[in-house]
Amino acid sequence: MDYISLTVFILYFVALLLIGYMAYRRTKDFSDYILGGRELGPVIGGISTGASDMSGYLLLGLPGALYAGGISGIWLPVGLAIGAYLNWQFVGKKVRKYTQVANNSETLPDFLENRFRDHSKSLRIISSLFILIFFAFYISSGLVGGALLFEQTFGISYSTGLLILSIVIIGYTSIGGFFAVSWTDFFQGIIMFLACVIVPIVTITNLGGWNETVSKAGNVSLSNLDVFSGTTTLGIISLLGWGLGYFGQPHVISRFMSMKSSKDITIARSVYTIWNVVALFGAIFIGFAGIAFFADKPLSNPETVFIELSQILFNPWITGFLLVALLAAVMSTISSQLLISATALSEDLYKGLFRKNASQKELLWVIRIGVIVISLFAVIIAFNPQSSILTLVGYAWAGFGAVFGPAILAALFWKGTTKNGVLAGMIVGGVTVIVWSLLSTPPVGADGVKLAQSEAVIPFYLYELVPGFIFSTVAVYIFSKFGPSPSKDMVEEFDLVKVSNI
Amino acid sequence: MEHTFTLASLFMIFVPMPLLIIFSLISVFNQMQRDKNEERPLLKVSGEKTSFESRNL
């Protein structure tokens, strides 16, 4: 067992729990617990959004893709960076203003219901269920990644790692709520940022500098230096299309709602963009430099490139810190998703449907129990990392993007949007993502190996978010245009938001 | 032989993502300018005129 790394991990966990306790002291009511009383500042807001948005993908998947395929792996991070920026640019301020004007909505389902005067509760129920189901699998998948890291680093069993990780996350999220999640995300975002800066710089320096690194990667294969290597037009559209997913991510939208004012969002956008671009570049060059570093002895699993470099190039204390960064990437995403799921359970379903006049104290109890129940559900699924149910996570990013993205954009920017339009858009978006994904997956042959793409019902690959987003947008438009028009007070409220200076 | 990135690769590395940082900083700068302009009418309190008012008098 690596005792130095273990010490660093324990110190990190203690820091998280301490932050959770400080947040508990600061939380006065239910609004504080779910949205921090809309008091989030731009620096913490920007960095914590980045940390909660970037999961283990930042330090495992992305460097792994660059290590395996060279610089052509850059399309996906470029798509993500552009999508995230556009989301901050167009959705951030408007969401902050509109959610306050629309009956002080504190969650996404709450906003949709208030925005469209939906007395049937159908928007609230469908959006809450979608959030609950997909985030539960997302959380499970994150726990699997964290527990595997424990297993590999310390040689402890997978189940023990899973339990330790779950107890710490449940601990600080349930006691401290939104403040705990955003403050720990900020703290974890700083650690992730430092790791993304330190590892590529040290690796490239170790290899003799930039030119040497590029040249060595080219010696391994010239295709490593060509951004178009192994790509197709639809493939590039698919990779860039990942950025569309940002418009519908509930945990990102909730950060916008929690900012102190819409003016702070401009500053937070800069903080976020600098954090995000530098972190993505760091991850890109960890993978790319890894090609040159491991040229003579290639890694069997490309996704371990960050872990291997951390263990080879640094002293054990810094290695411990870098491995904590990997855990931070996983944990910061899980805690945000956990809080949003518990909010959907307590605020959107429990209070919204059954106990409209529930007291603050009652709601705080319900949401804390909700955090624990959802975590337990996620832990049970995560106990079997091979479970096929975890493949559902593959739908989650595209699902959120296609279900909520066009609905939110239309609700914010088109006066003519109606409840029917949004409802149809959400359903069409969700169904398209699942059906498209199933139809474009090639069948398995008699030998158990997947056949070529041309054998699938849809004989070409296009990331399901792209058609899902397009079809959902069309559905929002058609059903809004041909159904009953928006009411007079909805239109007046829409105009009020335009001139609002919140 | 010294290998290097293709031109398209260099473009993808050095253009789209750094541009986002520049855009975001420009928008912060613009907001600061707007805030400054909004504060200007306060000068009236101390008896001074804004340049806009001077031109219209």
Tokens read off for A236: 């590039």
Nearest chain A residue to B10 by CA: give it. A227
Q: Which residues in chain A are closer than 8 Å to B4, comparing Cβ atoms?
A: 211, 214-215, 218, 225
Q: How far apart are CA A62 and CA A20, in angstroms?
A: 30
Residue A334 near residue A143, CB atoms below 8 Å: yes
Q: In this structure, what DSSP letter does residue A39 have?
A: -
Q: How far apart are CA A137 and CA A148, in angstroms?
A: 17
Q: How far apart are CA A286 and CA A322, in angstroms?
A: 13
Which one of A75, A82, A219 has the shortest CB-CB distance to B20? A82
Nearest chain A residue to B13 by CA: give it. A74
- Contacts with B, A 70-99, CB within 8 Å: 71, 74-75, 77-78, 81-82, 85, 88-89
Residue whose pair of structure tokens reads 């109890």 in the numeric block: A365
Give the distance from residue A271's alpha carbon to the nearest chain B alpha carbon, in angstroms: 9
* B30-to-A376, A498, B38 alpha-carbon distances in Å: 48, 19, 12
- The answer for residues whose C-beta is within 8 angstroms of residue B20's C-beta and 6 or more apart is A81, A82, A85, A273, A277
Residue A160 near residue A153, CB atoms below 8 Å: no
Question: How much is the pLDDT for B45?
Answer: 53
The CB density around residue A314, as the number of other CB atoms within 10 Å, is 16
Percent of chain A with pLDDT over 70: 99
Instruction: Answer yes or no: is pLDDT of A440 > 70.
Output: yes
Instruction: Answer yes or no: is pLDDT of A12 > 90.
Output: yes
> In angstroms, how far is the first alpha carbon of chain A from the final one?
54
Tokens read off for A500: 């609002």
Nearest chain B residue to A211 by CA: give it. B4
pLDDT tens for A52-78 read 999 888 999 999 999 999 999 999 999
Instruction: Answer yes or no: is pLDDT of A201 > 70.
Output: yes
Q: Which residues in chain A are closer than 8 Å to B18, comparing Cβ atoms?
A: 277
Please compute the mean of the pLDDT values over residues A290-315 and round it to a whole number.
Answer: 94
Question: How much is the pLDDT for B17?
Answer: 96
Contact B9 A226 (CB under 8 A): yes
Tokens read off for A165: 């990780």
Give the distance from residue A70's alpha carbon to the nearest chain B alpha carbon, in angstroms: 10
A226 part of contact set with chain B, CB < 8 Å: yes
Q: How far apart are CA A128 and CA A113, in angstroms?
A: 11
pLDDT tens for B1-57 read 789 999 999 999 999 999 999 999 999 999 999 888 887 765 555 555 444 444 443
Closest residue by Cα to residue A131 from A108, A154, A112: A108
A266 part of contact set with chain B, CB < 8 Å: yes
Q: How far apart are CA A171 and CA A158, in angstroms?
A: 20
Instruction: Provide the 3-class DSSP secondary structure of residue A494.
Output: helix
Which one of B3, B27, B35 has the shortest CB-CB distance to A222? B3
Contact B6 A225 (CB under 8 A): yes
Please compute the mean of the pLDDT values over residues A137-147 and round it to a whole number.
Answer: 88
Q: What are phi and psi of A259, to 5 degrees?
A: -70, 150
Closest residue by Cα to residue A311 from A332, A335, A293, A296: A293
Q: How far apart are CA A459 and CA A140, in angstroms?
A: 32
pTM greater than the 0.90 cutoff: yes
DSSP A45-57: HHHHHHHHH--TI
Question: How much is the pLDDT for B52?
Answer: 44
Question: How much is the pLDDT for B40?
Answer: 72
Residue A289 near residue A215, CB atoms below 8 Å: no
Q: What is the rounded average pLDDT for all residues in chain A?
A: 93
**A47, A75, A78: which to substitute to probe chain B, counting the most B Cβ within 10 Å?**
A78
Residue A277 near residue A81, CB atoms below 8 Å: yes
A281 part of contact set with chain B, CB < 8 Å: yes
Please compute the mean of the pLDDT values over residues A11-28 and round it to a whole number.
Answer: 95
B15 part of contact set with chain A, CB < 8 Å: no
Amino acid occupying residue A449: V
Percent of chain A with pLDDT over 90: 80
- The CA R_g of chain B, rounded to the nearest whole Å, is 23
Question: How much is the pLDDT for B57?
Answer: 36
DSSP A279-340: HHHHHHHHHHHHHHHTSSS--SSGGGHHHHHHHHHS-HHHHHHHHHHHHHHHHHHHHHHHHH
**A74, A273, A288: which to substitute to probe chain B, counting the most B Cβ within 10 Å?**
A273
- Contacts with A, B 38-57, CB within 8 Å: none
> In angstroms, how far is the first alpha carbon of chain B from the final one?
73
- The CA R_g of chain A, rounded to the nearest whole Å, is 23
pLDDT tens for A101-126 read 999 999 999 999 999 999 999 999 99
ipTM of the complex: 0.89
**Rounded to 5°, angle at Cα A13 from A10 and A14:** 85
Residue A139 near residue A145, CB atoms below 8 Å: no
Give the distance from residue B43's alpha carbon to the nearest chain A alpha carbon, in angstroms: 22
Q: How far apart are CA A372 and CA A385, in angstroms?
A: 20
Rounding to the nearest 10 degrees, give the CA dihedral for residues A252, A75, A386, A13: -50
A210 part of contact set with chain B, CB < 8 Å: no
Among the listed ranges A255-269, A439-453, A470-484, which one has the minimum average pLDDT value?
A439-453
Question: How much is the pLDDT for A395?
Answer: 82
